[in-house]
Amino acid sequence: MKKEFTLNARLVGALYHIGMLIKKPYYFEQSALFWSTNRLFSFYYRIVTVYNPKIAYSGDKSFLDADLESYIIRHRIILNDIAYAVWQLLELCGLNVGLSPKGGVHPKNRELSFFDLEKKLSTNSDSRLDGMRGVIQRGATKFSFLKDQRDNIAHYKASILVFGDGPDFDFAIMNAAGTMPTVSDGDTTKLVLKNVFRFTNEQHLFLWEWMNGELTDSIVSLAQANGIPADPSSFATQLSGGAAIALFKEINGID
pLDDT per position as a tens digit, 221-233 = 999 999 999 998 8
Q: Residue 70: count other Cβ atoms within 10 Å of its Cβ.
A: 19
Q: What is the pLDDT of residue 29?
A: 80
pLDDT tier for residue 17 given thresholds of 50, 70 and 90 = very high
99 pLDDT above the threshold of 80: yes
Query: What does the pLDDT average to over 181-186?
Result: 82
What is the spatial distance between Cα 43 and Cα 9, in angstroms, rounded to a whole number? 18
**At residue 208, does pLDDT exceed 60?**
yes
What SS3 class is residue 30? Answer: coil
pLDDT bin (cut points 50, 70, 90) of residue 161 is very high
User: Which phi and psi angles does 191 have, rounded to 5°?
Assistant: -70, 145
Q: Give the rounded distance of the alpha carbon of 40 from its chain centre.
A: 8
Average pLDDT, integer, range 155-178: 88
pLDDT at 58: 67
Q: Who contacts 235 (Cβ-Cβ below 8 Å, separation ≥6)?
A: 8, 10, 13, 14, 17, 216
CA angle 95, 150, 249 (to 5 degrees): 80
- For residue 93, pLDDT over 80 is answered with yes
More confident site: 72 or 23: 72
Neighbours of 165 (CB within 10 A): 6
- pLDDT for res 220: 96
Task: Kindly tell me the sign of the dihedral angle through the C-alpha atoms of 216, 35, 209, 242.
Answer: positive
Reply yes or no on whether the pLDDT at 185 is more than 90: no
pLDDT surpassing 70 at residue 139: yes
Separation between Cα atoms, residue 146 and residue 172, nearest integer Å: 13
Ordered by start, the domain boundaries in the chain are 3-157+196-252
Estimate the crossing angle of helix 130-155 against helix 114-122, to 10 degrees: 140
Predicted local distance difference test score (pLDDT) of residue 20: 92
Mean pLDDT in the chain? 90
What's the pLDDT score for residue 108?
74
Residue 240 has pLDDT above 60, yes or no: yes
- pLDDT (0 to 100) of residue 54: 77
* Local confidence band at 3 (pLDDT 50, 70, 90 cut-offs): low
Distance CA 112, CA 245 (A): 27
pLDDT in the model for residue 2: 64
114 falls in which pLDDT band (50, 70, 90)? Answer: very high
- The whole-number pLDDT of residue 78 equals 95
